[in-house]
Amino acid sequence: MNFFKTFLASCLGSIIAFIVLGGIMFLLLLGMVASFSNSSEQVIVKNQSVLHLKLDGPISENEAEDPFEDLPIPGAVSTTGLLPLKKAIQNAAVDPKIEGVYLELSMLMGGYAVARELRQAIEDFKKSGKWVVAYSEYYSEAAYYVASAADKVYLNPEGDLEFNGLSVEVSFFKKLFDKLDIKPQIFRVGDFKSAVEPFMLDRMSAENKLQLTELITDLHSTLIRDVATSRNIEANRLREIASKMLVVDTRSALENKLVDSLLYFDQVQNELRSRLSLSANSKINFIKYSKYKRSIPSTSTSKNEIAVIVADGDIYPGKAQEGVIGSDTFAEELRKARTNDRVKAIVVRINSPGGSALASDVMWREIKLATEVKPVIASMSDYAASGGYYLAMACDTIVAQPTTITGSIGVFSVLFDLSNFLDNKVGITFEEVKTGEVGELITVTRPLTSAEKNIWQKRTEQIYEGFTTKAAEGRNMPVDQLKAVASGRVWTGTQAQAKGLVDILGNFEDAIRIAAAAAHVADDFKVKYYPVPKNFLQAWLGNMDETVHAKALRSELGPHYNTYQHLKKVKQMQGAQARIPFEMTIE
């Protein structure tokens, strides 16, 4: 009897494994077929079409091919690339088959510089004489900021709209570390370099509270001015509405003219039919962005290229990954662009809060070399701070949005002493043998000695001196003047321009125009993006080794795998960092 039980259990396990494996292979095959179909399919845009922009997923700078984005897969979320999205909107403005844009968004998963670029794309689209209609059941503050650029803004009668200003919340971990017997060993330069404050304090320092207050106040002023212009409402009135939170329901949103009407979805569709001169119940020819972008022909035959090298994510040494700017990959792309005769100018598109100081310097050097042979322009997105600013400061011209968060010219180093935690909580101890007075300088298994701490502080100060010296050289100002606006302090794009850290307030297209003019190809050029995003199959194959490795570790470590992952992240943050002093969300 036991034999048959074991036999049947084995058969059942094999059947389940076969089904799972078959499902994986089916999805892979489906992805490959869809990828090939997407790349070869000629999308035909019907007459009287409406471009449907449903922006409910993450927005990055560029986007990889996703063969599943048109398939109704539950829980699937596609990332939309800001730059190709703007290109689609620009094309729709001159496409005779596109009558208007239907904008649907409730939450915007991007920062306020991204939001402002989208607003400007919508405003430029309207200059063609075509219309933009926005509708949602709920508008977050950032989503409304974008939607307010539309000709008409509609809200569900039972929906909601957030319009009460900006706030920043910082998490502090000092008490947690105290309980766990973890001791951060911190070295920093700059009174405003507050990235390490959550490890050493339980509340904001006066300097950090000052810079964050001034930062969000300036950001909010820009948002108010933009909304005031598009909605034709006095800026002071908008400030009062936000400050006192006078919009608490849909009726107050309508009364305060933030929206044009309170409509249900079917009523919005009727309004669109009226704009299209369609009869009641007629089908509206909506075309989604994911399809419309494949209808845009690549018509440029110019031999002159503006290379856009996208730096999107945290900065680390090595190869680039999703959400990570790898210094090896970035440097390689810069070298290719520098030595390619077809490339007449380079635009470095930066959306980064910073990261490794060493990796930042490696990339700075490649940008510096490129500026010696052709124009290099920096285009700042949501963030170009600390290590992100390190990249920008080597460029000939820096272009930022007023809502870009930049600056943070400062350095910190942090190492976590886990010796008491590992001994008292886990039961693991360590002992070191060394040939000299100084042991391993990057370690979590023991506290640093006084001599080792002095070495770390000197290293940190040296990196800061190099950072500020190179920044002063790039900005053509005395080092003392540069240091007066450095010290790890963050600025908005508007503030940074006033301080001399930014040259021009503008968008990505402005940076492209500056680059083309500087290369004397303003009337004859094409734009190409690097590194080229991996398609589905490349990304899947590239992640296979990592996935197998992770599964092996999970099997070996069992319940301790999550602890390993946290320790790995702590390890990555150790050493000298040029990183923004806080993480800020747009809500």
Q: Rounded CA gap, 487 and 407, in Å?
A: 9
Look at residue 268 and give its three-state secondary structure.
Answer: helix
Concatenating the DSSP letter of every residue in 363-424 gives HHHHHHHHHTTS-EEEEEEEEEETHHHHHHTTSSEEEE-TT-EEE---EEEEEEE-HHIIII
Q: Which of 201, 193, 203 is nearest to 576 (CA)?
A: 193
Q: Scan for tokens 């449903």, then name that residue.
A: 54
Catalytic residue among 136, 194, 386, 487: 386
Q: Which residues pair with 97 in a beta bridge?
A: none
Helix (H) or strand (E) holding 175: helix 174-180
User: Is 212 exposed, middle or buried, given 0-12, 13-18 or 19+ CB atoms closer than 10 A?
Assistant: buried
Give the 3-state secondary structure of 240-266: HHHHCCCCCCHHHHHHCCCCCEECCHH
Beta strand 397-400 pairing with 411-417? unpaired
| Separation CA 385–CA 134 (nearest Å) | 33
Structure tokens, 337? 């662009």
Query: Is 179 an active-site residue?
Result: no
Tell me which amino acid residue 121 is: A
Amino acid type, 142: A
Question: In sequence order, what DSSP letters do the residues of 42-101 get, joined into one string?
Answer: -PPPPTTEEEEEE--SBEESS----TTTTS--TT--PPEEHHHHHHHHHHHHH-TTEEEE
**386 a catalytic residue:** yes
Q: What is the DSSP string of 133-145?
A: EEEEEEE-HHHHH
Measured from the Cβ of residue 351, the count of other Cβ atoms closer than 10 Å reads 25
Set 86, 193, 344, 470: catalytic member? 193
Residues noted as catalytic? 193, 386
